[in-house]
């Protein structure tokens, strides 16, 4: 397992997680996880991202989406509990989380929006931020 995969979830790297029952459950928006979330919800990624970000996603749909992202994270870090997560249990934990369902939905919305706008690769890894450099301003000719 690589250092990147086994490293704990960190906000500094832009990794998203839900705090559920005192445990940080990573959200990994891999292609497979997103495809499973789309299939189970009947909605496309852009619609899911918009609904979650705007607060219009139902608890049932949010639970289905979150469990797929948590399962993908669990598989990537070899966490059997997360890899075998249950949508009903995740939904209940989202209700009981600090900030309640609304707080969990905001986190889910940010994660899905990043996925929809190219912030993750197909494996669910956060893409590095692009940096842009500019040429130093040239001094005017004295001549």
CA pair distance 8, 52, nearest whole angstrom: 25
Calpha distance 19→31 (Å, rounded): 23
What percent of the chain is predicted at pLDDT more than 90? 76
* Higher-scoring residue by pLDDT: 111, 9: 111
110, two tokens: 């940010």
DSSP one-letter code for 120: B
User: pLDDT digit string (tens) for 41-73?
Assistant: 999 999 999 999 999 999 999 999 999 999 999
Query: Contact, 115 vs 35, CB < 8 A?
Result: no
* Integer Cα distance of 61 and 39 in angstroms: 11
Q: pTM of the predicted model, to two decimals?
A: 0.82
């Amino acid at each position: 397992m690589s250092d990147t995969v086994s490293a704990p979830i960190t906000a500094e790297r832009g990794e998203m997680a839900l705090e559920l029952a005192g445990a940080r459950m990573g959200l990994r928006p891999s292609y497979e996880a997103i495809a499973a979330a789309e299939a189970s919800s009947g909605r496309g990624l852009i619609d899911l991202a918009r609904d979650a970000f705007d607060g219009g996603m139902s608890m049932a749909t949010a639970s289905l989406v979150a469990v797929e992202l948590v399962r993908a994270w669990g598989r990537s870090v070899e966490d059997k509990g997360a890899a075998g997560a249950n949508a009903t249990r995740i939904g209940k934990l989202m209700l009981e989380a600090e900030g309640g369902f609304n707080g969990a939905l905001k986190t889910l919305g940010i994660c899905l929006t990043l996925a929809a706008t190219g912030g993750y690769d197909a494996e669910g890894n956060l893409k590095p931020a692009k940096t842009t450099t500019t040429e130093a301003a040239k001094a005017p000719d004295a001549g």
